[in-house]
Structure formats: structure tokens, C-alpha cells
Homo-oligomer: A and B are copies of this chain.
Amino acid sequence: MLKRSSVAYFRIVILGSGNVATQLGLALRQNGLHITQVYSRNRRHASALASLLKASPVTALGKIEKNADLYILAVKDDAIPVLAKKLKLKDRLLIHTSGSVGMEVLKPASTTTGVIYPLQTLSKDRKINWRKVPLCLESNTKSGKTLLEKIAGRVSEDIVWLNTEERRLVHLSAVFACNFTNHMYVIAENLLKKKKFPFRLLHPLVLETALKATEIGPLPAQTGPAARSDDKTMKKHLKMLTTDKNYRAIYSNLSKSIKRK
């Protein structure tokens, strides 16, 4: 691999224009790194993100430069192996950003592969504090590891080396801690709507529940009817959910799971 003296001179190509491509691209740029190209099949998407990152938009794979130091494949899980089969990057470092896709799917494109999986929920237009985001790294070569550590270290203080199997477990745990948690908020909001109460009513509770779990740990933080085996209240709640079969089943299953402790 061609060696450049400082990461500030590195050339980085981003493939993709979604939430991760946008937020990771911005984080790299804000930390003094240089994005040269943004690839997306969709011209509008490529241009929008490229302009945000002061990079050149590219809509054809053939137009992607050959001599970049890092290629970031920040596309949907299914598209990762598809694109990897079309790229010819020799020994250039190619990474993806997925929690659940193995590193090995990148093999057809390069001999140096890796992963940066940011353990955070990302949206295009929502700023987050990247310094605190655990970046889960993996690479198949020593040079890849050195390079990834340098670049990731510019963005976050929290670097974690995980192999594919470990990363998949972390990703699965994140589905519970983030996606399913958010679904609990959605259900709560829908229940409040029955009396036209705003979700705002639950804001202090939602924030304190999260903060408490991070400060004292989730197990000692567990409260509620199921935790204290208050069968009378649980029965009342199930009765209130008679017409919401889906929510009723969720209430019943989760209460049982809590009581199991």
C-alpha cells in the first residue's frame, strides 16, 4: 500500500449517501480528514452529500479513483456483497459499516478489508457526539488495522476491536437497547393518544429511565408491576388492553420475562 505521512493527507472515498454515509462523512471531515469522492447511483443523492463533504460526486463505479487510502462502503446490508463483487481495488483498504455483515464479503474487491461499525443510531439530519460513540473495528491485515485505528481515533475516543461474530452479538444487543426500546415509546405514545395526551408527558420519564440504567445498571433499575409481582395491577392493565391484542400480547410476554428474574 502507498504510504502517506499523515491521515490529514489521506484520500477517502465514500460509497453510499444514507444516514451512516452522511454522518460518518461529516464526522471524518470535521476531524480534518479529506473525502475526495462520494459515490451513489442516484445523481441527486451523490451531489447532495458530495457538496456537504466538499467532495466530487460519482454515479458510475468506473469513475471511482484507484488510489484512495480508504474506501467506505456505507450502503444497505444487502448491497454490500453486490458492490464488493463489482469493485477492483487491489490492496486498497475497503471497509463496510454494518453490524451484522461479515468482513469476508469484501474479499472479492480487495486484499485489505475491514469494518467500522458505529454503535449508535444515526439519522441524516441529527447531530450526535461522535467522541463518545464506540467504533467497532475489524481488519484482516496489520496495515489495515493501523490505518483504521488512526482514522477512527480521529473521530471517537472509544475504539473497540471486534471480530465479525462479536460484532454481530453487539449488533443484536443494540436492536434490543435501541430499536425495541424505541418501539416501547411508540406503543406508549399510541396509548396516550386514546385520550389525546401528548408523548411530551413521558419525556422526563423516558430520559430518566435511560440515564438511570447507565448510572446504576439496568437490573437494579427495574421497577414496575411485574418487577414487584403486583398481579392485581397487571390484570387491570391487561383488561385495559383488551381491544389492542398486539399490545396485550407484548404486555403479557414482557411482564412474564421480567418476573422470571
Q: Which residues of A contact B (CB under 8 A)?
A: 19, 76-78, 100, 119-121, 123, 126, 128-129, 132-134, 158, 160, 166, 168-170, 172-189, 191-192, 194-195, 197, 199-214, 216-219, 221-228, 230, 232-233, 236-237, 240-241, 246, 249-251, 253-254, 257-258, 260-261
Contacts and interface: CB of A to CB of B under 8 A. Distances in A.
A123 to B, nearest CB: 8
Given A119-B204, A184-B184, A187-B257, 6 more contacts: A100-B236, A172-B191, A173-B189, A178-B205, A181-B210, A182-B213
Contacts of A178: 205-206, 209, 223-224
A214 B207 contact: yes
A191 B169 contact: yes
Nearest to A241: B172
Total copies of this chain within the assembly: 2
Contact of A222 (B183, B225, B240, B250): B183
Contacts of A202: 119, 173-174, 177
A-B pairs, 6 with minimum CB distance: A179-B224, A185-B218, A210-B210, A177-B188, A173-B188, A173-B191
Nearest to A233: B100
A121 B208 contact: yes
Contacts of A228: 76
Contact of A126 (B76, B188, B212): B212
The listed residue with most B CB atoms (<10 A of its CB), out of A126, A160, A216, A218, is A218
A241 to B, nearest CB: 8
Given A179-B227, A207-B210, A174 B195 contact: no
A184 B186 CA distance: 14
A126 B216 contact: yes
B119 A201 contact: yes
11 contacts: A100-B236, A100-B237, A160-B201, A168-B240, A179-B224, A180-B254, A181-B185, A184-B184, A199-B213, A207-B211, A250-B254
A179 B189 CA distance: 15
A93 B107 CA distance: 74
A172 B209 contact: no
